[in-house]
């Protein structure tokens, strides 16, 4: 199913899920770089909490390998590709979140200001009903990423026009200090290659949302 209004559609899909599932649920939000996943995940968690269903957004980006480790591995110019994440660590976190442990579980986040992950930054309390996790590769079907989809109670895919995403990606790289030429090259190179891979996972979603 394709729905054109991202937040209302996502909210409706989660409410339908909650009506059928007791206990905690995990909602996954996938999509290409700069589609607006983080913004939508945060807005969705906030709307659910305001409506009485405690929710928290947990980004996959918290599992970026550190820049120093990427440099050691020779992957600095591939940051954002599947091999530049601690996929197993992310999967293990999702399993802990599904278990609904009696004490808070702490998840990492990612800071665009320092371009690094920050550990134990997001507390997920026992009373949280909905975990909204977002990231590029939630629907990837190659190991070890293929272990993620079965852990999601609902999988959403957020689409956005190429021009909108490209402009946002260039702005993102400019904010990190790259020249305009370097920012354009990154957006058209590494980010574009990642987007092509991510778009191939679209069919693995329960619902596709579109951002205009």
List the domain boundaries for the chain.
Answer: 2-210
Please state, in angstroms and rounded to a whole number, the distance separating the CA atoms of residues 50 and 147. Answer: 31
CATH topology of domain 2-210: Rossmann fold (3.40.50)
Please state, in angstroms and rounded to a whole number, the distance separating the CA atoms of residues 43 and 21. Answer: 22
Return per-residue pLDDT of the chain as tens, 212 residues.
545 479 999 999 999 999 999 999 999 999 999 899 999 999 999 999 999 999 999 999 999 999 999 999 999 999 999 999 999 999 999 999 999 899 999 999 999 899 999 999 999 999 999 999 999 999 999 999 999 999 999 999 999 887 788 777 778 777 777 787 777 766 666 778 899 999 999 999 999 999 86
> For residue 127, what are the CA distances in angstroms to 26, 39, 72, 77?
13, 23, 40, 40
Q: Residue 56's closest CA among 21, 97, 90, 16?
A: 97
Provide CB contacts within 8 A for 109, sequence distance 6+. 59, 61, 62, 117, 118, 121, 122
pLDDT of residue 1: 52
pTM: 0.91
């Amino acid at each position: 199913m394709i729905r054109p209004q991202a937040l209302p559609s996502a909210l409706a899909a989660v409410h339908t899920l909650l009506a059928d599932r007791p206990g905690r649920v995990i909602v996954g939000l996938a999509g290409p770089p700069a589609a607006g996943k983080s913004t939508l995940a945060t807005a969705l968690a906030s709307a659910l909490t305001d409506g009485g269903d405690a929710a928290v957004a947990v980004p996959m980006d918290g599992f970026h390998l550190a820049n120093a480790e990427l440099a050691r591995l020779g992957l600095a110019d591939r940051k954002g590709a599947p091999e530049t994440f601690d996929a197993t660590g992310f999967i293990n976190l999702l399993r802990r979140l599904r278990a609904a442990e009696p004490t808070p579980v702490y998840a990492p986040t990612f800071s665009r200001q320092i371009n690094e992950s920050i550990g134990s930054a997001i507390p997920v309390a026992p009373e949280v009903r909905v975990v909204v996790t977002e990231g590029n590769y939630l629907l990837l079907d190659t190991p070890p990423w293929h272990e993620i989809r079965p852990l999601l109670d609902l999988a959403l895919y957020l689409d956005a026009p190429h021009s909108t995403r490209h402009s946002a990606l260039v702005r993102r790289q400019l904010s990190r200090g790259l020249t305009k030429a370097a920012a354009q090259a990154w957006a058209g190179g590494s980010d574009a290659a990642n987007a092509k891979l991510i778009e191939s996972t679209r069919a693995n979603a329960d619902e596709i949302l579109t951002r205009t």
